[in-house]
Each structure stands twice: as structure tokens, then as C-alpha cells.
């Protein structure tokens, strides 16, 4: 099936990361939030930006077989996420990876 242009949903928390396409009832991938033995997200806050960026890009390419620039990516955020972290995520997905869009939603919605 061709998923070109579909919205990718990415939910990264301290314990697990879920990835899939909007409109599907379940995520395609659910894995522990660990990258090369390290936990890049602790207490809902990204501590290791370089590791989480590598993890996200690898998941998108390897697990979903998509390039970020071909899709909008819906990101979740923890309730206490700081504005600077939201801004950094938006810059990564919109500017660096040229995603078609990257709205943020609270993970409890």
C-alpha cells in the first residue's frame, strides 16, 4: 500500500514510543524509548536530543519506510513540556526534515 502524503503519528514518552499513520486504529510500531542503550526521554522531557532525533529518523525510515519530508507528522507532547522543547521539535520536523506539517497535541487528548 502507498502511504505517500499520509499523516504520520509519533508519540514518544519516557517508557515507550508509538509510531503509525493517522486513521489506523493502532500504532504500527510500539517500542521502548531507548536508543543504543540510553533513555533519551526521562520524566516526559527530552534529555538527549541527538539520540532521540536519530531514533525518530531511524524509525520513520526503517519501520515505516517513509521520508519525513513526504509527510506531515503529528507529534504528541507531555503535559509539562516546555515551550523551548516544543519549538525545538517544530524546528526539527519543519525546517530540518522539511515535513509538510507538524502539529503538536497533548498526549492525554
State pTM to two decimals. Answer: 0.85
Residue-averaged pLDDT of the chain: 86
**pLDDT (tens digit per residue) in 60-73:** 999 999 998 888 88
- From 48, 39, 19, select the one nearest 31 (Cα to Cα): 19
Say what the pLDDT of residue 109 is. Answer: 44
What is the sign, positive or negative, of the torsion defined by CA atoms of 71, 76, 27, 44? positive
Amino acid at each position: 500500500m502507498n502511504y505517500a502524503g499520509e499523516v504520520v503519528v509519533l508519540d514518544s514518552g519516557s517508557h515507550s514510543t508509538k509510531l503509525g499513520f493517522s486513521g489506523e486504529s493502532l500504532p504500527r510500531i510500539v517500542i521502548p524509548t531507548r536508543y543504543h542503550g540510553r533513555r533519551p526521554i526521562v520524566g516526559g522531557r527530552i534529555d538527549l536530543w541527538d539520540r532521540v532525533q536519530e531514533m525518530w529518523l531511524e524509525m520513520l525510515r526503517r519501520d515505516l519506510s517513509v521520508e519525513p519530508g513526504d509527510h506531515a507528522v503529528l507529534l504528541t507532547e507531555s503535559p509539562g513540556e516546555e515551550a523551548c522543547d516544543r519549538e525545538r521539535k517544530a524546528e526539527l520536523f519543519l525546517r530540518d526534515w522539511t515535513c509538510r506539517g507538524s502539529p503538536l497535541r497533548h498526549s492525554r487528548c
